[in-house]
Structure 1
Amino acid sequence: MKKFILLVITITIVSCKNDPKKKSSNKEEVKDTKEVKKENFPKELGKVFQAHGGINAWRKAQVLSFNKGEEVHTTDLKSRKIVVNHPKYSLGFDGKVIWLSEDEKGVFKGNPEFYYNLYFYFYAMPFVLADDGIIYEKVNAISFEGTDFPGYKISYQANVGTSPDDNYIVYYNPKSYQMEWLAYTVTFNSKEPSENYNLIKYNKWENVNGLVLPKEITWYKKDDAGNPTEPARPATEFTLPLISQAKLADSFYEKPSE
């Protein structure tokens, strides 16, 4: 597909490199801390952002891209325009409408309105938890293999996004402040608040141009107390990550001509 070719060219030009050993300088850390205080994040959540590369670095990024299987997910981080490209279909959001294009009708299995940004949110954790219109609330920790993971619940003000009643809970390592778990509700179909949380373990992370982003996540089963017990399904892997400060043309996010 033309969009995929353009993205490959863009990746080649910006040549963002993964460097697991790269760390922020002390000056950058001080700057990020000031930014966190300015934006009034809870102190602990600000430390989580810092452990993943810092909110300043995230704010500077323009484009985020990653592969999930044969799908290439590309997002404009400022406008949240999105394209998901697959050899047999593509879907996305052009800033006004959500669209779907298929080689054959029925190839894409799912609801484009629900799916188009689903994995962007899972992949862009924890930084999407710094979006506008968020309400933060400290919650009880969950326990797994002898470690308690403190958490913050994230809810949204009315009329924010397509599912403002969705809630997230980020759980972090109490020593490193790296994100470890994500609990989330799904209200897309019901359009009503829910206390039925799904739970994801963030198994592996990688440094992508200075930001620590997920490499592998796994959905987990829970006990009656809400603590994780065992994997509910095989892990989902992300490959070919890209963070770029170079924008893509708006036309990249538009539906291909038939």
Structure 2
Amino acid sequence: MKNLYLFIVVLILFTNCNEQPEKNKTQKQQISKELTWLQKTEKAHKKESFLAHDAIALDMTVNFGGNERLSGRMTFLTNSTKGKIELKDGTAIHFDGSKVFHSPDLKNEKAARFDAYTWMYFLLFPSKIGDEGTVLKDLGVLQLNDINYNAQHLSFKGNIGDAPDDWYVIYSNPETNLIDYAGYIVTANKSLEAAEADPHAIGYEDYKTIEGIPVPHSWKYYEWTKEKGLGKEIGFATLSNVEFLNTDDSTFNIPEGFVEK
């Protein structure tokens, strides 16, 4: 009888020892299946499908302070390496990598580099937040407009782009994982201290599905601070006639006589 009891005890201990590794393995598998914030956001914005397209084109009108800032047809490679903005007055801005070219009679030639990259970056933002050289920091849950958002701080490693000191605070919707807002600073032509004293935010609204990919057709710009949230609206942009297309060697050819900025 004692031998029987001893056998049962040994059997139980052996079984428990075998079950524990299996339990730990299952827990690790469950944890590994949980998506990160970046993965959830990129999945919601259909990043893979977006990048599978060659280029995106659209009409955009930007207004600030009650005045039209820019209006025209924009075409960008989805990988952001080339693009052009054909303004309604007949002038244009092109970029190829880090080089920017514009019509010799461009009205606001001082802002050529800013315009070449800024509107493209706001448009392609969901596909850019995971780029090499970006640094994401989890901010937990932040409230904006009485809604609790999943928030991340985005900054850049040195020597990335024209403005490596820029940073963003990204607010993703906890239900859809789409980006609703992004607070940001602009350091172009100003010091970091001056930029941080004048932060703003962009709000992405009116998401419409283009070939299965969500594209916000209404952007609004606000005064903003991380502590106080959104202030007054200072500008807006409207998008229309959005389409994905294929390009050829002539699509982004720099016209003769264009000035390099």
* TM-score normalized by the length of structure 1: 0.73
> Secondary structure at the residue paired with 2:135?
strand
Match of 1:63 among 55, 59, 62: 55
Partners of 1:149 and 1:204 in 2: how far apart?
18
| Aligned partner of residue 214 in structure 1, secondary structure | strand
Specify which structure has the higher proportion of helix: 2
Select the residue among 17, 36, 41 that pairs with 1:43.
36
Structure 1 residue 43, shift from structure 2 partner = 0.5
Residues 30-67 of structure 1: CA deviation (Å, up to 9, x unaligned): xxxxxxx9xxxx702211221222x3212312212111
Residue 236 of structure 1: aligned partner: 237
Q: 1:102-129 CA deviation, whole Å, 9 max, x = no partner?
A: 5xx3534651111112111111231121
What's the secondary structure of 2:227's corresponding residue?
A: coil
Aligned pairs (5 A) from 1:175-190: 175-190=175-190
Check conservation: 1:93, 1:254, Cα contact below 8 A: no
Aligned residues: 212
Distance in 1 (CA, whole Å) between partners of 2:95 and 2:157 is 22
Gaps of 5+ in 1: 1-36
Q: How far apart in 2 are the matches of 1:66 and 1:155?
A: 28
Aligned to 2:75: 74
Alpha-carbon spacing, 1:229–1:96, altered in 2? closer, same or farther (3 Å): closer
More strand by share: 2
AA partner of residue 208 (structure 1): I
For 2:248 and 2:186, the matched residues in 1 are separated by: 31
**Percent identical across equivalent pairs?**
18
Residue in 2 that maps onto 1:14: none
Shift in alpha-carbon separation, 1:73–1:119, aligned structure 2, 3 A: same
TM-score, L = length of structure 2:
0.73
Report the Cα distance in structure 1 between the residues aligned to 2:181 and 2:154, rounded to whole angstroms: 13
Distance 1:224 1:237 in 2: 25
Secondary structure of 2:186's counterpart equals coil
1:257 aligns with 2:248: no
Residues 208-251 of structure 1 show CA distances to partners (whole Å, capped at 9, x for unaligned) of 11211110011123368231144233x3101111223x3332x4
Contact 1:144 1:229 in 2 (8 A): no
Q: Deviations over 1:124-183 (max 9, x none)?
A: 231121222111101254423321212111111111111111112210112221211011
Q: Match for residue 91 of structure 2?
A: 89
In the alignment, is the contact (CA less than 8 A) between 1:163 and 1:191 conserved in 2?
no
Q: Kindly indicate whether residue 228 of structure 2 is the aligned counterpart of residue 200 of structure 1.
A: no
Structure 1 residue 97 displacement after superposition? 2.4
One-letter code of the match for 2:37? E
* 1:139–1:152 contact (8 Å) kept in structure 2: yes
Offset from partner CA, 1:173-208 (integer Å, 9 cap, x none):
122212110111111113547534211111211111
Aligned amino acid, residue 75 of structure 1: F
Structure 1: which amino acid aligns with 2:172? Y
Q: Residue 148 of structure 2 corresponds to which residue in structure 1?
A: 148
Q: Distance in 2 between matches of 1:56 and 1:161?
A: 23
1:98 paired residue number: 100
SS of the residue corresponding to residue 162 of structure 2 reads coil
Contact 1:63 1:248 in 2 (8 A): no
When residues 200 and 142 of structure 1 are mapped into structure 2, their CA distance, relative to the original with a 3 A threshold, is farther
* Greater shift in the superposed pair: 69-78 or 199-208: 69-78
Residues of 1 paired with 2:237 and 2:113: CA distance?
21
Cα distance, 1:99 vs. partner? 0.8
CA distance in 2 between partners of 1:79 and 1:107 (Å): 25
Residue number in structure 2 paired with 1:12:
none
Change (3 A) 1:46 1:199: same
Higher relative contact order (Cα pairs below 8 Å, separated by 6+ residues) = 1
Q: CA deviation at 1:92?
A: 1.2
> Aligned in 2, Cα 1:64/1:256: closer, same or farther, shift over 3 Å?
same
Contact kept, 8 Å, 2:92 with 2:106, in 1: the verdict is no
Distance 1:237 1:153 in 2: 26
